[in-house]
Structure 1
Amino acid sequence: MVSRLKPTGFKVLSLTTISSPHQGSPFADYVIKFIGQKRLPKLYHILEKWGLETGAFEQLTTEYMRENFNPQTPDIEDVKYFSYGALTYPGIFSPFHASHRIISRVEGDNDGLVSVKSASHGVYKGTLLGPSHLDIINWTNRLKWIMKGLFGQHNKFNAVAFYLALSDMLAEEGL
């Protein structure tokens, strides 16, 4: 990512990624294989009518990342790279239930879309326990947590606190 920035009138000191699919996602592989290349344009057309972006989906496959993106996007020598992964166990009604199961079979621990293995890049700072891929970007389903709260369960991941702590970590690194 940093190697492709234009213009370069500034100096990038570090890049920290959180549950980014550096090695692609087995779920993208599964969907592409299940749907097939011939039917993929029809799916894209439907998703675009719903207002959903589709352009990057094929670029999330493990093959694309391995064969294209990663070789064409090398790390910059004097930039510090940090990464975090995430591990969740989605319930049966979670939108990540099926994708989590598919990724688990191939790569193990994951957040519902990205495995911990794929999220690791540069200095791996750790695995966030509990949040789904959407929780990480603070797109938490508040109704879900209200309902779980009725049964004594509470969201243990605070995205705002995590990102503030991440800023502190970068400051401690001198960045």
Structure 2
Amino acid sequence: MSLTTIASPHHGSAFADYVFERIGPTSLPRIFRALRALRIKTGAFTQLTRRFMEEDFNPRTPNREGVRYLSYGASVDPPIWSAFKRSHRIVEREEGANDGLVSVESSRWGEYKGTLVNVSHLDLINWTNRLRWLVWEMTGNKRNFNAIAFYLDIGDMLAKEGL
């Protein structure tokens, strides 16, 4: 049995800390109500802070005997027009290399399988701007990451290892 995580904030995210420090506890309920009205679920937001993960979640959720834990991280240097430019800078200042939201260090859990380079958090969930890739490929460039192939490779590796 195994659990493989990819760019999961096992130790929280400096960007979540930053957002909650700027918003403040008195404004959070109003913001959460507005997000829920837009049908955006908010339950996990407060659980992404470094404090919550280190002091609450991780101590209450120990590794289970007999489970092999594998993890991957990702890092990117987002272009100036990227939606992740600011969040990347905040996480990089506090935690180092990151995918725009989660640092490589925070993603480490169990056996660390490696860092995906030039891959953003959105690339990992295959939510890449198709128009951007079309223009990119028309100018002779190639995609540097294929999320579907990556996940299939993980499944293949786990199968070969009997996990």
Same fold (TM over 0.5): yes
Could you list the structure 1 runs, at least 4 aligned residues long, displaced by more than 4 angstroms after superposition.
none
- Which residue number in structure 1 is paired with residue 148 of structure 2? 160
- Which residue number in structure 2 is paired with residue 54 of structure 1? 42
- Structure 2: how far apart are the matches of 1:73 and 1:115? 21
- Which residue number in structure 2 is paired with residue 5 of structure 1? none
**CA offsets, 1:104-154, max 9 Å, x none?**
001111001100000000000000112211111111111121233344333
**CA offsets, 1:51-86, max 9 Å, x none?**
212111010000000111001111011100000000
- Structure 2: how far apart are the matches of 1:153 and 1:49? 41
**Counterpart secondary structure, 1:114:** coil
1:68-79 alignment to 2 at 5 Å? Answer: 68-79=56-67
| Comparing 142-151 and 52-61, the one that deviates more | 142-151
Q: 2:15 aligns with which of 19, 27, 52?
A: 27
- RMSD (Å), alpha carbons: 1.2
Structure 1 portions without partners, runs of 5+: 1-12
| Comparing 148-157 and 29-38, the one that deviates more | 148-157
Structure 1 vs Structure 2: percent identity of aligned residues? 57
- Structure 2: how far apart are the matches of 1:87 and 1:169? 22
- Which residue number in structure 2 is paired with residue 91 of structure 1? 79
Query: What TM-score, normalized to structure 2?
Result: 0.95
Deviation at 1:42, TM superposition (A): 1.6
- Which residue number in structure 2 is paired with residue 65 of structure 1? 53
Deviation at 1:174, TM superposition (A): 2.0
**CA offsets, 1:18-47, max 9 Å, x none?**
000000000000000011111111221222
**Counterpart secondary structure, 2:5:** strand
Deviation at 1:95, TM superposition (A): 1.1
Structure 2 portions without partners, runs of 5+: none
| Comparing 36-45 and 149-158, the one that deviates more | 149-158
